[in-house]
Every structure is written in structure tokens, then in C-alpha cells.
Structure 1
Amino acid sequence: MGFSGELVFGRSERPLIEAPVFGGAQEDNEGGITACWPRPGGWQTWQFHGTFPGRPEDVLRAVVEWTGAPACVALVHDSDVALVWGLEPEGDMWDAWLNLKIAAEMSDRPLSEMDAAVPDDARRALDWARSAGVGDGVAATAIEEILRSDETFAEEVFTNLLDRLGFPEAVDPEAEG
């Protein structure tokens, strides 16, 4: 059984877990809330294992309001599929499915219909990344490729999406520099 829960990605000088929407929750590496490797510039990803404080879209709005920066949330089911929402401080929101084939099977929607949305999803995700100060020189077709990929783990597709959008790569905090 894979990971089921939410991934929250955003930028802050303080840990995102300190946002008021999380109600004073603490990192719990025993399976509740865990920090992923940080990215330069204050970018960070947090995993919530069944301890999320509300609907992903509402939590996303609260995180963007608290940080004043673009953020995104991914709702992951058993590491097989994820639905990602991204939001800019100006209020522009986008969403996209990761692992389309499984998403189509689970939702009983035609794969062709979901695939037809990929170019627009990729463009909106790239606009979101550019609002965060990254993504210059990235082609929408590169984002489409990620959105159409069928990696084994949706969490890896999420990380690959952030990398391809131009965010700084995550760094092992224990690695010697």
C-alpha cells in the first residue's frame, strides 16, 4: 500500500507547518506530518498522512494568504494518482491530474477527455510557476510530458513536475556542502 494523503508545496522563511491553517500541528516522522527535503529559496514540501485540516483548495488558499507566495497542494491516493491544485496570490488557480490512465479508471472519465485537457493544464501550471519567479525558458510541451507520464509513484511525478517547472531541486539537508 502506497502513500495516501496530501502534499503541500510553498515558499516561506518559516516552516509551512507553522501556518495558522495547520492549527499548531507538529512534524511527526512516525507517520503523521513529515517535511521533505527543502529546496533553495525557502521552497518546501510537507507530507500529511491522514492529518489534513480541511479541503485541499481551502488549505491552499490559507497557505497562499499566509505566505504571500504561490503554493500548491496534491491530493494523493495510494501513490497511484494525484490531483494537484496551484494558486497564485492574485487568485489564479489551476489543477491537473498526475497519472492520467489511473485517474481515468478511478473517475470513469474517458482518458481521451482527460488527455485533451493536458495542454491547458500545462500552460496554466507554467504560468503559476512563472508567477513564482521560475519557469523562464521552460516549454509547455515539457510540462505536458510530465502530466502524461505514468510513473509508479504519484509523489515522484509531483516532484518531477516541480523540477520541470523550474523550481530549485530539493537538497538533502544532511549532505555536506
Structure 2
Amino acid sequence: MRVMGNSGGSLTTRCSGELHQFMRAAGFTDIDETKALAEGWQVTDFADAGPRSLANLVRQMRTPALMVSFLDSDVGFIEALTPDGNSWEGLLNREIAESYEIPLEQFPLEPAVAGALAWSAAAGLTPDEKAVRRTLTTSALFAEELSSTLLTALGLPGAT
């Protein structure tokens, strides 16, 4: 029997103000508590986001942001954007995604790795390329575990 999991998402960005206000204005709904990392980076869970929510948030705040939308805690869809318009997409838990019949060719690995490294550098972070690649190709019971591992691989200070 499969237990229903998280179908919301998480947003990671740097913010010195009230992140929840920025998120609501950008189209995020049912915003949960924020976990502070270090150097102003924060991770906030949310129930839903509109199709332009990430772009709206980055435009408002003028800071890089990374969003992971979860499908029943099994799969994570990554979207990341920098203020200068550089973006990348990726997929967490590729093997399980395949069982959902999600077309993996829509989420090619090499562009995701390159995009992740460029996003991290643009955010002033120091990524670990091997760890990023491993995170984007490995499996875990919950996609949220891989999301946390990705933040560490991207070099976010205080991520564990």
C-alpha cells in the first residue's frame, strides 16, 4: 500500500526581508514555516505555485532562487532561476519518475548538471560537481531527501 506524501514544494532563496510576503505576491500559496540556513539563505515549503511564480519572485527580489515541486514525495521537479535570466530544470528520483511514465528525455542530465553549476556560481556559491551529478542520478525513498542533498551539493551554507 502506498502512503500519500508531499505534493507541494520547497523554495530556496536568499532574503533579508519577509520572504512569505514576497512569495504570496509572486503567486505561492499555503506557505509554511521558513528554515533559515546561513548567510541569509532560507528554505520555505509551500502547497502550490503558479506557472510564473518563480520568475515573479526572482524579478521582485533580484536574487537567485531554486524551487522543487514534489509529486507525492516520490519525484521532485527542479526549477532554478537567476536575476539575469539564467535558468535550469532537473528531476529528482529519475528511476521512480520513470515508473510514473514521466518522459526522462524532457529532463536531460548533462544540461541539468551544467545549469546547476552555473546557477550556484551566479548565486556566489561553490558547488560540488560530483555531488550534484550523484544527486540528480541517485534514488531515495523520499524526493525531499534528495532535495536537501542537492542544496548541500550546490554549496548552500548551512544546508544539511
Query: Which residue is 2:8 aligned to?
Result: 5
Match 2:87 to one of 71, 93, 116: 93
- Give the Å deviation of 1:161: 0.2
- Give the Å deviation of 1:93: 1.0
Equivalent residues of 1:38, 1:170 under 8 A apart: no
Instruction: Return closer, same or farther for 1:36/1:159 CA change in 2, 3 Å cut-off.
Output: farther
Larger radius of gyration: 1
* CA distance in structure 1 between the aligned counterparts of 2:112 and 2:49, rounded to whole angstroms: 26
- Give the Å deviation of 1:36: 4.0
Equivalent residues of 1:79, 1:155 under 8 A apart: yes
TM-score, normalised via structure 1 length: 0.79
Aligned length: 155
Q: Does 1:14 align with 2:5?
A: no
Query: Which residue is 1:44 aligned to?
Result: 42
* CA distance in structure 2 between the aligned counterparts of 1:114 and 1:64, rounded to whole angstroms: 24
RMSD across aligned C-alpha pairs, in angstroms? 2.1
Match 1:154 to one of 126, 138, 143: 143
Matched letter for residue 89 of structure 1: P
Equivalent residues of 2:27, 2:50 under 8 A apart: no
* CA distance in structure 1 between the aligned counterparts of 2:130 and 2:6, rounded to whole angstroms: 28
- The structure with the largest strand share of the pair is 2
Alignment of 1:106-125 (within 5 A): 106-109=100-103, 113=105, 117-125=108-116
- Give the Å deviation of 1:80: 0.5
Equivalent residues of 2:6, 2:72 under 8 A apart: yes
- Give the Å deviation of 1:106: 1.3
TM-score, normalised via structure 2 length: 0.87
Instruction: Return closer, same or farther for 1:59/1:2 CA change in 2, 3 Å cut-off.
Output: same
Alignment of 1:60-75 (within 5 A): 60-75=54-69
Query: Which residue is 1:129 aligned to?
Result: 120
Query: Which residue is 1:29 aligned to?
Result: none
Moved more, 83-92 or 117-126: 117-126
* CA distance in structure 2 between the aligned counterparts of 1:63 and 1:103, rounded to whole angstroms: 27
